[in-house]
Amino acid sequence: MGDLSVTLCGVELDNPVIPASGTFGYGHEFAQYYDINCLGTFSFKGTTREPRYGNPQPRIAECEGGMLNAVGLQNPGVEKVIAEELPKLKKCFAKPVMANVSGFSAEDYAYTCEKLDKEPQVGWLEVNISCPNVHGGGMSFGTDPEAASAVVRAVKAVTSKPVIVKLTPNVTDIAAMARACEAAGADGISLINTLQAMRIDLKRRKPLLANGTGGLSGPAVFPVALRMVYQVWEAVSVPIVGVGGVSTAEDVIEMMLAGAAAVEVGAANLRDPWVCRDIVRDLPGVMEKYGIENLRDIIGGAHG
């Protein structure tokens, strides 16, 4: 069997398959279906400084090729995550976990990341910078290189573990955003987050989502995500986590050829709770089919 192991920001993974934040809860929810230790790791639900109840319902809508969500970062807050969720996770997952963090100011991010950085089971901090910067007039951190850099610097000043910055695709130059984050000290880049989108209810003549717009995920976004991973690989030297529409072992290989060192699986978990387990199971056969002996050797293999 081929070698599935990879390294992400200096941390060894048994394989590159990572359930994405927001689709895997805090891990123990999926542990009742299968042994989640078969995964490389997973990124737990986006966590903020204070508890958040999220957006009004309806906040999920189906569409051809994917789904829309406007959940609004519903989570119990970092204190409760540390006190309640991580102890439950420790009982069913023996590997380092990726902590996904959101915030509404650089200070918010720094506070939450500093707390999680002290937790032994946290291996990486995945800093989601697609949230509104309410202190700066509502501009998303992830669309402004200077704002993104400020968040990265604030987090790096109070943490010791690898910081992976999750980028929004809703920008004109994804490579410029990645370069700005790398220059500010990011240890890795994760991309992409969801694409801003909407659907309209024909009977009510109103948007399906109470929030109006939401984030598009699922197979429809895979080619966009792949293109952005490819571009960012050529722009930075830090590791990349590829995410967006991944649902098969073949998709994982494609993402790695574009430049991903590891690959997150998002919306597919909501359609099929066993999908990540099955991707890990299927990877050796796909590697054999395409003559791949070691996954590390194919990272960025589609370039040049």
Give per-residue pLDDT as tens, 266-298: 999 999 999 999 999 999 999 999 999 999 999
pTM: 0.96
pLDDT at 93 over 70: yes
Tell me what the mean pLDDT of segment 209-216 comes to: 94
137: left (phi over 0), alpha (psi -120 to 50) or beta: left
- The question of whether 131 is a catalytic residue gets the answer yes
CB 130, CB 168: distance < 8 Å: yes
Could you identify the residue written with the tokens 């291996």? 123
Edge-to-edge strand ranges of the sheet holding 17-19: 17-19, 262-265, 240-243, 188-191, 163-166, 122-128, 97-101
DSSP letters, 168-207, are PS-SS-HHHHHHHHHHTT-SEEEE--PEEE--EETTTTEE
Alpha carbon of residue 126 to chain centroid: 7
| Spatial distance between the Cα atoms of 76 and 72, rounded to a whole number of angstroms | 12
pLDDT at residue number 1: 75
| Spatial distance between the Cα atoms of 130 and 140, rounded to a whole number of angstroms | 6
pLDDT at residue number 130: 82
pLDDT confidence bin for 41, thresholds 50/70/90: very high
pLDDT at residue number 139: 57
Return the CATH number of the domain spanning residue range 6-54+73-195+221-298.
3.20.20.70
pLDDT at residue number 304: 82
CB 62, CB 6: distance < 8 Å: no
Token output for 229: 């991973």
Tell me what the mean pLDDT of segment 144-153 comes to: 95
pLDDT at residue number 135: 63
pLDDT at 154 over 60: yes
Tell me what the mean pLDDT of segment 186-209 comes to: 96
Q: Give the start-to-end residue ranges of the domains of the chain.
A: 6-54+73-195+221-298
DSSP secondary structure code for residue 134 in this structure: G
State which H helix or E strand residue 56 sits in: none
Higher-confidence position of 223 and 134: 223
Active-site pick, 9, 131, 181, 276: 131
> In degrees, to the nearest 5, what angle opens at C-alpha 277 toward C-alphas 121 and 259?
75
